[in-house]
Amino acid sequence: MTSQMQRTIAQPVSVSGFGYWSGQDVRVEFRPAPAGTGIRFYRQDLPGQPDTPALVTYRQEIPRRSSLQRGQAEVQMVEHVLAALYGLEIDNCQVWVNAAEMPGLDGSAQPFVEALRQAGVVVQPACRPTKAVSERVRLTAGDSWIEARPSPTGQTLVEYHLDYGPGNPIGRQSFRTTLTPETFCQQIAPARTFLLRQEAEAFLSRGMGLRTRPEDLLVFDEDGPIGNRLRFPEECARHKLLDLIGDLALAGCRLVGEFVAFRSGHRLNAELVQFLQTVGNESRQCIKRCA
């Protein structure tokens, strides 16, 4: 069962790298935050150090990544950072950055997880906002769909089905697990970002991703990943779950339910979060449940 008390980190910790899309160097510093703060991104490189809460309200539609903006405080590719915090059940944290795009690192959430675990966790004297899925909901977009169902066990389950059609070098993959800090760290956090070789070449031709190399993520051609070896047989499906968990974090509370997706991406994930905030017996807000 998920802990019912809020948590933050015990001390500041940082991670540095460069953005996949911009190529810009960036440093991310995680700092402890008081109970009730939630997750907030601070742009320390901008005048006044403006911040953006990690809430679906501030989501911006940018292809292939989750981005947030409030006023001048824009942050891009936040899904891996948010997944690490959500997966480790860290409710309150200040995320200070000196550029808009989060570092890509090895394409997974593992480096963020390692840093956060090094920082340690503090339990706070406040109950955790939680919302349980109260009815089955399915959202679709073309051939893609995502579904939320009530959880009969009170645990959160995540499941992803990946199928890009015949002839695709990635192939059909599925992965399903109950979401706990342990399963997240072992089964999901190490899974890396992926794309096809022709997609990578198209981005390079437009001047994007110029610093990113095949060893920095998974680039597939007809023979499999180029210059890399898979960490899991179904690593791509696991990474899509990583992205989904990062997007679920935009609810601003713990979501309890079963979440099943087929070819879903960031936009559909976010639409589900928005929908869940407006339905159910929770009076359109997260329920606070304490022991």
The residues assigned a catalytic role are: 266
CA–CA separation, 185 and 182 (whole Å): 5
Q: In angstroms, what is the C-alpha Rg of the chain?
A: 18
Paired tokens of 78? 């936040």
Q: Which of 216, 221, 223 is nearest to 199 (CA)?
A: 221
CA distance 68 to 81: 13
Distance of CA 68 to the CA centre of its chain: 13
Q: Which token pair is 265?
A: 């991406």
Tokens of 242: 């990583």
Contact assessment for residue 129 and residue 230, using Cβ atoms and an 8 Å cutoff: no
Place of tokens 């449940």: 289
Q: Which amino acid is at 207?
A: G
**With 0-12 CB in 10 A as exposed, 13-18 as middle and 19+ as buried, what is 290?**
exposed
Residue with tokens 């390079």: 204
Instruction: Give the distance, in angstroms, between the CA of residue 28 and the centroid of all CA atoms in the same chain.
Output: 15
d(CA 291, CA 287): 13
User: By three-state DSSP, how is residue 184 classified?
Assistant: helix
Q: What are phi and psi of 154, to 5 degrees?
A: 80, 5
